[in-house]
Amino acid sequence: MADTLKTLICPACGKEMEKVFIPSQGINLDICTKGCGGIYFDNREFKEFDEQHEDITKIIESLAGKTFEKVDTTQERICPNCGAKMVKNSTSIHKQIEVDDCYVCGGKFLDNEELIKIRAEYENNEQRDADILKYVYATVGKELDEVDKRHTEAIQNRTATQKLFYKIMGM
Q: Using CB under 5 A as the criterion, which residues of the chain lie in contact with Zn ion when the complex forms?
A: 10, 12-13, 32, 35-36, 38, 79, 81-82, 84, 102, 104-105, 107
Q: Between the CA of residue 73 and those of 76, 96, 111, 112, 126, what are the distances in Å?
A: 8, 12, 7, 10, 28
Residue with Cβ nearer Zn ion (36 or 56)? 36
Query: How near is the Cβ of 106 to Zn ion at its closest, in Å?
Result: 7
- Ranges of beta strands (E only) in 35-155 are 39-41, 87-90, 98-101, 108-110
Residue with Cβ nearer Zn ion (84 or 154)? 84
Rounded to whole angstroms, how far apart are CA atoms 138 and 100?
27
Residue with Cβ nearer Zn ion (9 or 93)? 9
Residue with Cβ nearer Zn ion (84 or 140)? 84
Query: How near is the Cβ of 71 to Zn ion at its closest, in Å?
Result: 7
Query: How near is the Cβ of 45 to Zn ion at its closest, in Å?
Result: 13
Indicate the pairing of strand 39-41 with strand 108-110. Answer: antiparallel
Query: How near is the Cβ of 92 to Zn ion at its closest, in Å?
Result: 23
For residue 112, the tally of other CB atoms under 10 A from its CB is: 22
